[in-house]
Amino acid sequence: MDFTEKIVEVAKEIFETMVMVDVTAGTPLDEHVSRFECSLSAMVGFAGFKQGNLSIHAPDKVARGLTQDFLGMEVEEINEDVEDAMGELANMLAGSLKPFISENGGKVELSLPSVVHGEEYTLTVVNKADWVLVPFTVAHGDFLVGLELKKQS
């Protein structure tokens, strides 16, 4: 599975047109990251022909900044507005990737966005999965976009 180019393409389009921020993609990570500190993670699951998830992981400062840009309002703390905005960004990314994930004609459904926020947390989502984790940089700092798809038996 190499969805890296599609993730970069879709993320640039969404963040530049919907959030109005310039975004620069980095080199995909070699090691999976599952432990986060003072961060927010927004996830949308895939079910059906392919199972897995799309996730955005952002430090609090970056999540607040992206929400400010997206909603056009001052954001001083992680609150429901930030959770909703980041969940919606994850939803837009997942929706844009869905046609490529189900390209062989299999039906794929998206879950509602889920958001986790905390001072320290660990996320382990799919066992035995193919994954890609792409770092992105915006004026507010760095964040990650990840895609995990369960290996087909």
The string of DSSP letters for the chain reads ---HHHHHHHHHHHHHHTS----EE-PPPSS---EEEEEEEEEEEEEESS-EEEEEEEEHHHHHHHHHHHHTS---S--HHHHHHHHHHHHHHHHHHHHHHTTTS--EEEPPPEEEEEEEEE----SSEEEEEEEEEETTEEEEEEEEEEPP-
Q: Give the whole-angstrom CA distance, residue 15 versus residue 5.
A: 15
Pairing of strands 35-48, 24-25: unpaired
pLDDT 10s digits, 59-111: 999 999 999 999 999 999 999 999 999 999 999 999 999 998 887 778 899 99
Going by pLDDT thresholds of 50, 70 and 90, the confidence category of residue 130 is confident
Query: Torsion angle of alpha carbons 57, 29, 134, 152, nearest 10°?
Result: -90
Least reliable range by pLDDT among 1-5, 31-35, 132-136, 147-151: 1-5
Average pLDDT over residues 34-48: 95
Asked if 91 contacts 109 with a C-beta cutoff of 8 angstroms, the reply is no
pLDDT 10s digits, 14-32: 999 999 999 999 999 999 8
Q: By C-alpha distance, which of 118, 117, 145 is closest to 131? A: 145
Structure pTM? 0.94
Degrees to nearest 5, angle at CA 140 with 6 and 36? 75
Question: Structural domain boundaries of the chain?
Answer: 4-150
Class of the 4-150 domain? alpha beta
